[in-house]
Amino acid sequence: MTAITVHDELINRFIRYPGAIASRLRIVRLRLLGVRIGRRCWIRRIHVPRNPWDILIADGVALDDYVVLLTTGSRANAPRLVIEGGSYVNRFTMFDASESIEMGRNCLVGPFCYITDHDHGIDAARSIAEQPLVSSPVRIGSRVWIGAGVMILKGVTIGNDAVIGAGAVVTRPVRSGEKVAGVPAQPLGLRVTANTARRTDR
């Protein structure tokens, strides 16, 4: 390692050190409020507006600045919002759960995404604001990549290893390994693994 590289690494560690302390203090505060947080998590300046007991964050999760974890409704026996181990959520992304949102392990979520399990009733006889929420659980598998600015709406299931293109609005199920993009999101094909490519070449 060169002297310049060592110098740069020391500077980066010096920059990160206060953030690491702040992250630990945030985790302590959130745990005291009732959020279930695993080990080795990295929590930036996130926002939990209400119902902290409805949230489960597993080991090794990283939540970047201004991520919003919003849950509504009376206290339930199980958490409404679950983010499994090793997943990373980028800045300004919002989870909005009234029934259940679950995201699997080792997912990557881009900035400015919105993931919700509900919307409003639209009965013409009453104003929308007066109508109850209509909800359906959202399930996101493991190792899913969700690009910047994606919206995932109620009732959607996304299989393992799927890729959601930036700006997509997902209103239908996404198969394991499937790539989708667009408004509404449409299939672009399946991801090709090295093993799949070798079989295709034969």
Active site residues: 120
Q: Which residues contact 140 (CB under 8 A, 6 or more apart)?
A: 101, 102, 103, 104, 107, 115, 146, 152, 158
Beta bridge partners of 169: 151
What's the CA gap between 153 and 114, in Å, rounded? 8
**107 touches 143 (CB < 8 A):** yes
Find tokens 């919206």 and name the residue. 151
Q: What is the DSSP code string of 17-62? A: HHHHHHHHHHHHHHHHHT-EE-SS-EE-S-B--S-GGGEEE-TT-E
**78 touches 99 (CB < 8 A):** no
What's the CA gap between 172 and 144, in Å, rounded? 16
What's the CA gap between 189 and 97, in Å, rounded? 30
